[in-house]
Structures are given as C-alpha cells and as structure tokens.
C-alpha cells in the first residue's frame, strides 16, 4: 500500500477528485436505498436533514483545519472551495457585487445521473437549497440564498443550476 504522504501532487489531486466523485456516488446510492425502503418523500426528507447537518459540520471542521475565519461572502467562498463535494462539479463562483456572490453549476454528475435514470422528480432544489442555506447560515447568519435557475433543463448543454448569495 502506498503512503498518501509519498504521492506526487498530480496523484494527490487525482485521488481527491476520485474521492469527491465517490462521495457523490455514495450519496446517490444512499438516496435510492432510502427511497426503496420508504418512499420518495421520506427519502427526500432524510436527505435534506443529512445535508443540513453536514453543512454545519463541514463549516466547523474547515474553520478548525484550514484557518478559515470571519463571516460574509469571502468566508463563504473559502468554505465552498474546501468542500470536497464540489471538486468534481464544474462550478463557478462570481462576486457580482460586494453584496452578492453567484454560484453556478455547469456540469453536475448527480443531475446527469438523475437525467440518465429519467427521474420525473429531481432532488436538486430541495436538497441543494437546504444544503446551501445551512452552509451560508453556518458561515454567516446574514447571508441569504436565492435560486436563480434550477433543473430540469432542456438539454445537457444548459447550466445545471445557478444560485445567489446575498448579504
């Protein structure tokens, strides 16, 4: 077994991207298993709870391990950049104004998987909304979240979603 401290920079990046994608896959498998054991609505409720809890834990651990301090949109940007769930997503963060940060997902493996499964009901809005709201609140209770564009999309060439954070 190779020691992680001995990996090259390129191999570490590849490993982190692999783990990020694997984590996203586990989340999807978990949802499908919960849905089969209960129903869509109950699985969705549980998923929203899990992501809400994860957001506050994530912020606490990032602050502790990476010295991300402060509040506001700059702190939120730093927290998002440390969140492994976004490392395999084509994500753009744009500071439109000092009071507004736009969060745009251009390619999302989770949405692509749901589209491939031809799911009629998507989990994106309720789960991502709850997660982003909890994340923003854990960073700074004054940050508000607004959905600007949500799935479904007409074609895979469209963006997946767009959100705005406001202070």
| Predicted pLDDT of residue 2 | 79
Number of domains making up the chain: 1
Per-residue pLDDT reduced to its tens digit, 38-70: 999 999 999 999 999 999 999 999 999 999 999
Domain containing residue 34: CATH number: 3.30.1380.20
Nearest to 73 by CA among 81, 61, 65, 84: 81
pTM to 2 decimals?
A: 0.92
**All residues at 6 or more sequence positions from 69 whose CB lies less than 8 Å from its CB, including other chains:** 63, 75
Task: Render pLDDT for 129-159 as a digit per residue (tens, 0 to 9).
Answer: 999 999 999 999 999 999 999 999 999 999 9
Give the residue numbers spanning the domain of 145. 4-166
Beta-bridged to residue 22, according to DSSP, are none
Q: Is 33 exposed, middle or buried (0-12, 13-18, 19+ CB in 10 A)?
A: exposed
Task: Look at residue 154 in the predicted model and tell me its pLDDT.
Answer: 92
* pLDDT tens figures, 3-40: 889 999 999 999 999 999 998 999 999 999 999 999 99
Check pLDDT > 80 for residue 1. Answer: no
């Amino acid at each position: 077994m190779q020691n992680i401290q001995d990996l090259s920079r390129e191999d570490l990046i590849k490993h982190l991207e692999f783990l990020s994608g694997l984590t996203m896959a586990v989340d999807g498998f978990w949802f499908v298993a919960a849905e089969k054991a209960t129903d869509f609505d109950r699985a969705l409720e549980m998923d929203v709870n899990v992501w809400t809890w994860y957001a506050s834990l994530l912020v606490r651990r990032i602050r502790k391990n990476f010295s991300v301090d402060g509040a506001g949109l700059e702190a939120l940007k730093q927290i998002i950049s440390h969140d492994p769930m976004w490392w395999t997503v084509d994500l753009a963060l744009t500071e439109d104004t000092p009071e507004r940060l736009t969060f745009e997902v251009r390619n999302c493996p989770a949405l692509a998987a749901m589209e491939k499964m031809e799911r009629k009901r998507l989990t994106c809005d309720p789960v991502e909304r709850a997660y982003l709201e909890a994340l923003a609140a854990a960073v700074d209770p004054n940050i508000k979240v607004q959905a600007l564009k949500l799935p479904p999309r007409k074609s895979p060439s469209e963006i997946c979603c767009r959100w705005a954070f406001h202070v």
